[in-house]
Amino acid sequence: MSKIPISRLCLRFSASVSAHAPTYLLRGALASAFPEEPLLHQHKRDGVIYRYPLIQYRWWDGNGIVIGFHEGACLLPKLPLLEHQFQLGNSIVRIIDIETQFAQEDVKPASRLLRYRFMSPWLPLDQENFEKYKIMSQNQRADERDRIIVGNLLTALRGLNIEFPDRLYATVQVYRTVTCFYKGQRLLGFMGRLLTNVLLPDDLAVGRAVSHGYGWLKRVNDV
Domain ranges in the chain are 2-104, 109-219
User: Residue 183 — pLDDT band, cuts 50, 70, 90?
Assistant: confident
What confidence tens digit (pLDDT) does each residue in 134-178 have?
A: 999 999 999 999 999 999 999 999 999 998 888 999 999 999 999
CATH 2.30.30 for domain 109-219: no
- Top mean pLDDT of 14-23, 49-58, 173-182 is at 173-182
User: Residue 91 — pLDDT band, cuts 50, 70, 90?
Assistant: confident
Tell me how crowded residue 130 is: count the other CB atoms within 10 A of its CB: 14
Question: With the C-alpha atoms ordered 60, 81, 26, 86, is the resulting torsion angle positive or negative?
Answer: positive
Q: Which of 112, 111, 109 is nearest to 166 (CA)?
A: 109
- Choose the CATH number for 2-104 among 3.40.1710, 1.10.287, 3.30.70, 1.25.10: 3.30.70
Task: Determine contact, residues 25/89, Cβ cutoff 8 Å.
Answer: yes
